[in-house]
C-alpha cells in the first residue's frame, strides 16, 4: 500500500495536480528511480531533498537507497498548508535523482495519538527533561525490546505494542542492526555486508520499516540503537569511522521522519581513549543540530556525562546501572554520578536506560531479579536525578524469546520466558502503576533532596530516595522496605496532604497532613512504599 500511495503522489505532482494530503507530524514519502547504475549505491552517490514550508521555512532530508534503482525520501511536516520540494544529487548527470520537484498538502491531525497531537521530542526549556514540540512534558518510560523489531512477526509486534501502550509505556528501545544476540534475521540476512566500504542491505531494513512506523502509530517513541558495540565483531567496534557514519546516516534518512530518539552506541565503552572515535561519529552523523534527540547507551556503570555533555549533537545522558544488586553497584547509582553530577552545566536529562531486568539472573551475585528488584532500581533512578524517566526490561522481552530458551550468546543470564508471557509479568504491572503515579503529578518539577530524609540507612541497599519541587509543594520519597522514615518538613509546604502509595498494587492510603519540624511516618505492611506529599 505504501508504494502505491507514493507512486500516486509522484504522478500527481508530475502532472501538476495537488498531491494527496499528509497529516501534521505524519510521514510524507516520495520515491525516485536512478537514471544511472552504481556499484555500491549508498557509497557512490548521495541525494537530498529540500522542503519549503507554507511560511517559507526550509528543511532538508537525505534520500536513501532502497534497492535496485529505487531511492526514497521521508519527511515529517511541521506546518499545515502546501509544501514544495526539490531534489539534489551529488551526481548532477543523474536525471532520476537530481532536479526533481513536487508538492504535497499537510492537513491538521484530528486524532488522539499524543505523538501526533504534541509533535516530536526536544529538550525542555530547563534542559532537565524531554518535551514535545509544543512544550508538553514527555515522561520517558521505555521498554528494552532489543530484538523485538528484528525478530517479531508483524501481528505479534502489534499485540506487544498495544499491551505496552495500555500499561503506560511511552517508548521502546531496540537494536537496528545484526548484533551478538541476533547475528542474522529470519531470512538469513544481515544489515550490511563487507568489512570496508560496506554494502548496506535495503532488504534487511524493508522488513523493519512497518514495525518502526507501528511504534509511533501506537503512541510509542522509537529508540533504535544504531551501533551495538560490546563485542569487537559488532558494528560499533568492527566498522571504521567512515562506514559507521555512513550506516548511521542511512538510518537517519530511513527513519528520521518518525518520532524517534537515536541511541548512537549500545553497551559499549565510550570514555577515555574511545571518546574521540564516538565524538567523531556523532558529529559526522548529526552535525551540530540533530532533528531528533540523541544519546548513548554505555556499558554498565559508565557515565557519559563528563565526556559528551558538551557535544552539540548529544541531547541527554543515558546510563546503565546494570544487572547487579551488590552494595557496590547500588552505591554507584545512589551515591555516584547519577546522584551527584546532575547539576553540572549544561543541563541535560538523565535516564537509566538499562537497570536490572525482571527474571534475569545476575552473573555477579546470582540473584534472579523479581518485580521488587526492578521497582527499587526504577524508583531510585527517577529520584536521585531530576525526574526525566526510566527504562524497564524483562529477560523474555529483550531477547524476544519464542519459547523457554537461553538467548543467543547470553548463557550466563539464564533461560528466558516467552515474550507473550513476559509482557504481562508482575514487573510490567508495577510499571503500569508507576506510570499512573507519575502521570498524576507534576513530575518534571522534582529535584533530588537526599537531606530531606533524616534517618538514612548506612547501607546503599536500604537507601531511601527522595525528591521535591523547589517550592516545596510536591515531594516523593521511596522506601525499599516499609517502615519508619523521618523527614525534614521545613522543606515542604505545611498542611499538604500525604499519601502512601503501594507500587506493587497501585493503591493509596492516607498519611494525614504535613506538619512542621521533623516528621516521623511509618509505612505499614510488607514490601516497598512511596510517600507522596502534595498534589
Residues 237 and 319 grouped into a single domain: yes
Residues 127 and 71 grouped into a single domain: no
Instruction: Report the predicted TM-score, pTM, of the whole model to 2 decimal places.
Output: 0.95
Range of the domain at 148: 115-441
Residue 516, pLDDT score: 78
Residue 102, pLDDT score: 96
Residue 432, pLDDT score: 98
Residue 515, pLDDT score: 80
Residue 9, pLDDT score: 41
Cα(307)–Cα(279) distance, rounded to whole angstroms?
9
Distances (CA, A) of 38 to 41, 44, 237, 254, 487: 5, 7, 28, 20, 69
Q: Please write the tens of the pLDDT for every residue from 92-116.
A: 999 999 999 999 999 999 999 999 9
Residues 38 and 24 grouped into a single domain: yes
Residue 3, pLDDT score: 36
Is cis: bond before 461, omega within 30 of 0? no
Q: Please write the tens of the pLDDT for every residue from 281-323.
A: 999 999 999 999 999 999 999 999 988 999 999 999 999 999 9
| CATH number of the domain bearing residue 218 | 3.20.20.80
Distances (CA, A) of 312 to 136, 239, 266, 374: 23, 23, 20, 33
Q: Please write the tens of the pLDDT for every residue from 382-426.
A: 999 999 999 999 999 999 999 999 999 999 999 999 999 999 999
| CATH number of the domain bearing residue 460 | 2.60.40
CB atoms within 10 A of CB 303: 20
Residue 20, pLDDT score: 63
Q: Using the CB atoms, write b or e for 376-385: b if 16+ within 10 Å.
A: bbbbbbbbbb
Domain final position from 441, 459, 494: 441
Residue 14, pLDDT score: 35
Per-residue pLDDT averaged across 232-257, rounded? 98
Helix H, strand E, coil C: the string for 253-282 is: HHHCCCCECEEEEEEECCCHHHHHHHHHHH
| CATH number of the domain bearing residue 53 | 2.60.40.10
What's the mean pLDDT when you consider all of the chain?
Answer: 94
Residues 211 and 152 grouped into a single domain: yes
Residues 103 and 121 grouped into a single domain: no
pLDDT for 6 beyond 90 = no
pLDDT for 15 beyond 60 = no
Residues 459 and 321 grouped into a single domain: no
Cβ pair 244, 270 in contact under 8 A: no
Q: Using the CB atoms, write b or e for 186-205: b if 16+ within 10 Å.
A: eeeebbbeeeeebebbbebb
Q: Which of 199, 211, 198 is nearest to 160 (CA)?
A: 211
Domain final position from 110, 129, 158: 110
Residues 58 and 137 grouped into a single domain: no
Cα(79)–Cα(104) distance, rounded to whole angstroms?
12
pLDDT for 82 beyond 60 = yes
- Classify residue 423 by burial, with Cβ atoms within 10 Å: 0-12, 13-18, 19+: buried
Cα(180)–Cα(159) distance, rounded to whole angstroms?
26
CA torsion, ordered 66, 263, 279, 201, to nearest 10 deg: -20
pLDDT for 18 beyond 50 = no
Residues 435 and 495 grouped into a single domain: no
Give the number of domains in the chain. Answer: 3
Residue 11, pLDDT score: 36
Residue 8, pLDDT score: 41
Residues 58 and 200 grouped into a single domain: no
Q: What is the edge-to-edge ordering of all strands in the sheet holding 171-175? A: 294-298, 262-268, 221-228, 171-175, 140-144, 389-392, 350-352, 317-319
Residues 233 and 273 grouped into a single domain: yes
Residues 123 and 88 grouped into a single domain: no
Q: Please write the tens of the pLDDT for every residue from 29-74.
A: 999 999 999 999 999 999 999 999 999 999 999 999 999 999 999 9
Residue 21, pLDDT score: 84
Which has the minimum average pLDDT: 35-39, 206-210, 237-241, 408-412? 408-412
Residues with Cβ within 8 Å of 192's Cβ and at least 6 positions away in sequence, in order, are 177, 198, 199, 200, 201, 204, 235, 247
Residues 105 and 138 grouped into a single domain: no
pLDDT for 4 beyond 70 = no
Domain final position from 110, 127, 161: 110
Amino acid at each position: 500500500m505504501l508504494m502505491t500511495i507514493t507512486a500516486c503522489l509522484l504522478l500527481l505532482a508530475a502532472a501538476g495536480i495537488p498531491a494527496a494530503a499528509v497529516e501534521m507530524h505524519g510521514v510524507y514519502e516520495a520515491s525516485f528511480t536512478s537514471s544511472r547504475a552504481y556499484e555500491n549505491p549508498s557509497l557512490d552517490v548521495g541525494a537530498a531533498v529540500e522542503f519549503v514550508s507554507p511560511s517559507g521555512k526550509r528543511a532538508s532530508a537525505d534520500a536513501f537507497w532502497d534497492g535496485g534503482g529505487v531511492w526514497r525520501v521521508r519527511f515529517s511536516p511541521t506546518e499545515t498548508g502546501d509544501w514544495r520540494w526539490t531534489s539534489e544529487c551529488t551526481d548532477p548527470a543523474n536525471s532520476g535523482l537530481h532536479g526533481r520537484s513536487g508538492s504535497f498538502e499537510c492537513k491538521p491531525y484530528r486524532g488522539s495519538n499524543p505523538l501526533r497531537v504534541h509533535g516530536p521530542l526536544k529538550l525542555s526549556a530547563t534542559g532537565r527533561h524531554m518535551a514535545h514540540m509544543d512544550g508538553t512534558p514527555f515522561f520517558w518510560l521505555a521498554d528494552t525490546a532489543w530484538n523485538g523489531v528484528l525478530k517479531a512477526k508483524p501481528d505479534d509486534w502489534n499485540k506487544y505494542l498495544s499491551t505496552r501502550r495500555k500499561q503506560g509505556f511511552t517508548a521502546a528501545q531496540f537494536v537496528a542492526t545484526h548484533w551478538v544476540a541476533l547475528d542474522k534475521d529470519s531470512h538469513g540476512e544481515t544489515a550490511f555486508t563487507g568489512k570496508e566500504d560496506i554494502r548496506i542491505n535495503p532488504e534487511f531494513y524493508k522488513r523493519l520499516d512497518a514495525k518502526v512506523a507501528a511504534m509511533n502509530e501506537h503512541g510509542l517513541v522509537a529508540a533504535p540503537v544504531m551501533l551495538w558495540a560490546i563485542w569487537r565483531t559488532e558494528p560499533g567496534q568492527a566498522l571504521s569511522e567512515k562506514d559507521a557514519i555512513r550506516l548511521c546516516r542511512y538510518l537517519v534518512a530511513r527513519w528520521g521522519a518518525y518520532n524517534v530518539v537515536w541511541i548512537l552506541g549500545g553497551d559499549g565503552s565510550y570514555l577515555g581513549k574511545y571518546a574521540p572515535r564516538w565524538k567523531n561519529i556523532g558529529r559526522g552523523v548529526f552535525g551540530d543540530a540533530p532533528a531528533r534527540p540523541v544519546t548513548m547507551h554505555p556499558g554498565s556503570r559508565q557515565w557519559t556525562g563528563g565526556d559528551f555533555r558538551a557535544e552539540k549533537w548529544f541531547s541527554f545522558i543515558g546510563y546503565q546501572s546494570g544487572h547487579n544488586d551488590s552494595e557496590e553497584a547500588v552505591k554507584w547509582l545512589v551515591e555516584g554520578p547519577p546522584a551527584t553530577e546532575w547539576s553540572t552545566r549544561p543541563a541535560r536529562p538523565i535516564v537509566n536506560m538499562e537497570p536490572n531486568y525482571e527474571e534475569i539472573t545476575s552473573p555477579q551475585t546470582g540473584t534472579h531479579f523479581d518485580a521488587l528488584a526492578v521497582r527499587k532500581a526504577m524508583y531510585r533512578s527517577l529520584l536521585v536525578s531530576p525526574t526525566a524517566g526510566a527504562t524497564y526490561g524483562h529477560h523474555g522481552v529483550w531477547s524476544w524469546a519464542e519459547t523457554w530458551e537461553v538467548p543467543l550468546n547470553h548463557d550466563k543470564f539464564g533461560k528466558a520466558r516467552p515474550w507473550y508471557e513476559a509482557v504481562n509479568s508482575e514487573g510490567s504491572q508495577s510499571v503500569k502503576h508507576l506510570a499512573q503515579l507519575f502521570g498524576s503529578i507534576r513530575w518534571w518539577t522534582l529535584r533530588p533532596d537526599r537531606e530531606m530524609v533524616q534517618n538514612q540507612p548506612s547501607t546503599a541497599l536500604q537507601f531511601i530516595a527522595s525528591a521535591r519541587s523547589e517550592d516545596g509543594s510536591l515531594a516523593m520519597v521511596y522506601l525499599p522496605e516499609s517502615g519508619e522514615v523521618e523527614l525534614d518538613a521545613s522543606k515542604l509546604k505545611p498542611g499538604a496532604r500525604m499519601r502512601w502509595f503501594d507500587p506493587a498494587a497501585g493503591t493509596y492510603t492516607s498519611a494525614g497532613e504535613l506538619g512542621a519540624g521533623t516528621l516521623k511516618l511509618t509505612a505499614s505492611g510488607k514490601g516497598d512504599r512511596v510517600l507522596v506529599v502534595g498534589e
